[in-house]
Structure 1
Amino acid sequence: MSQANSLSHDDIIAQTTEWLEKAVIGLNLCPFAKAVHVKKQIRYVVSDVTTPEALLEDLRRELEVLAEANPEKIDTILLIHPYVLNDFLDFNDFLDVADGLLEELELDGILQIANFHPDYQFADTSIDDIENYTNRAPFQTLHLLREESIDRAVESFPEAETIYEKNIETMQKLGIEGWHQLFSGNKD
């Protein structure tokens, strides 16, 4: 994002946290996010890299940090990378490389990578379809999660398989104008 160039790491994290609080938690797009947020178990990392190769190295480091960390201290990591993979199709292609890294590190089945992008677009949708906003964050973000944590959360949440459908319903009720109003207090 071009606006990222004028922002400090603290500003980027603040915007990401606002998105997490207002959209992800506030709209209950992920019923598992609130607990790790309240317990301060999310590690926010802003990467200044400008190439996919350098991002892969940052991703490697953060996967290793998460794999070795005490889950009570760091249960999940948001690797925010505002200066690389601005184009959603390039970002989407990178996800295969990221999954390959998980396998190379022998962390597949232990950790997983979710993803968010300002221009996120699900297959078979139009760019402006509201359901895309469930995965739209202020900046490109790789969300590193523990499989064990996901399993625990799913056990405690009945009908976890319906989250996606409920999210679409929530977004359709909210609409794009409502989405923008969520963040209207953050405009310069």
Structure 2
Amino acid sequence: MSQLYPSYTVVNASDLTKLWVDAMVIGQNLCPFAASERNRGSIRYVIVDAQEVSTAMGGFLNELLFLQQSSEDEASTSLVIFPEGFEDFEIFLNLLDVAEDALIQSGVEGLFQLASFHPDYQFTGLSRDDITNWTNRSPFPVLHIIREGQMGRVLDSYKSPDEIPERNIDLMKKLGVKGLVQCFPPFQDYIKSASKD
């Protein structure tokens, strides 16, 4: 069971993450490119059942290899989900650092890049309760493997891509925590858990 989402078990971590993508990433248009990939069925949701960085990296590298061996039509992007073991944001950041180093060591830097999401995501320099953090808060810790070339082509065809982050921040401020919970009710579990810290 997730400590941050006690109502949801590891068994349905993939389903809950898909719901989050539908409700928040696509539903609130946080990523304008996600809907087309969801509709094509090319987003992969991969559960890595590991609680230590070394074993978690095995699952991450397996998925990275899968993407290397697959076409964009088969698998455009992967959300690698870690339901247990990385609830602590600092431990998750260590995993992210190791994963980014692995991209370099594997010789695929420039082909793939990572984005990260976490239930307790906190941008450097912001307080934990700053609403801006919610642009990157997800039900479970996630490493998002992105095909850099594909993303570059999409951004080239999108008007004012540099405005996307600022627009998302404005949306978070407009929604507020109450509005976020209305969009994605499982966030309520996170808020209750965080208030106990």
Q: TM-score range by the shorter chain?
A: over 0.9
Cα distance in 2 between the residues matched to 1:170 and 1:5: 27
Displacement of 1:180: 1.1
In structure 2, C-alpha distance between the alignment counterparts of 1:29 and 1:6, rounded to whole Å: 24
* 1:20–1:54 distance in 2 versus 1, CA, 3 Å: same
- Normalised by the length of structure 2, the TM-score is 0.89
Counterpart-to-counterpart distance in 1, 2:186 and 2:141: 21
Change (3 A) 1:12 1:4: farther
In structure 2, what residue type is equivalent to 1:19?
W
Gaps of 5+ in 2: 190-197
Once residues 64 and 7 of structure 2 are traced to their aligned partners in structure 1, the CA distance between those partners, rounded to angstroms, is 26
Q: Which runs of 4+ in 1 moved over 3 A?
A: 3-6, 185-188
CA drift at 1:116: 0.4
Q: Does 1:54 align with 2:55?
A: yes
Report if aligned partners of 1:118, 1:139 keep a CA contact under 8 Å in 2: yes
SS in 1 for 2:145: strand
* Contact 2:10/2:84, CA 8 A, preserved across alignment: no
Deviations 1:100-138 (A, max 9, x none): 100111010001111100000011111111110010000
TM-fit CA distance, 1:90 = 1.4
Contact 1:49 1:83 in 2 (8 A): yes
Between 1:132-141 and 1:81-90, the stretch displaced more is: 81-90
Matched residue, 2:128: 127
Equivalences for residues 7-46 of structure 1 within 5 A: 7-9=9-11, 11-46=12-47
CA contact (8 A) 1:4 1:82 kept: no
The number of residues matched between the two structures is 187
TM-align CA RMSD: 1.9
Output aligned runs, 1:19-168, within 5 Å: 19-168=20-169
Q: TM-score, normalised by structure 1?
A: 0.93
Contact 2:139 2:187 in 1 (8 A): no
Change (3 A) 1:85 1:184: closer
Q: Which runs of 5+ in 1 are unaligned?
A: none
Distance 1:176 1:6 in 2: 20
Distance 1:60 1:87, change over 3 A: same
**Superimposed CA distance per residue, residues 124-168 of structure 1 (whole angstroms, 9 cap, x where no aligned partner):** 111111110010000000101100111111012111111110000
Contact kept in structure 2, 1:4 and 1:12, CA below 8 Å: no
Partners of 1:149 and 1:69 lie apart in 2 by 13
Counterpart contact for 1:80–1:139, Cα < 8 Å: yes
The offset of 1:84, in angstroms, is: 2.0
Counterpart code for 2:117: F
Contact (CA 8 Å) 2:24, 2:184: kept in 1 or not? no
Distance 1:68 1:22, change over 3 A: same
Hey, what's the Cα distance between the residues in 2 that align with 1:67 and 1:35? 21
From the superposition, tell whether residues 102 and 131 of structure 1 become closer, same or farther in structure 2 (CA, over 3 Å). Answer: same
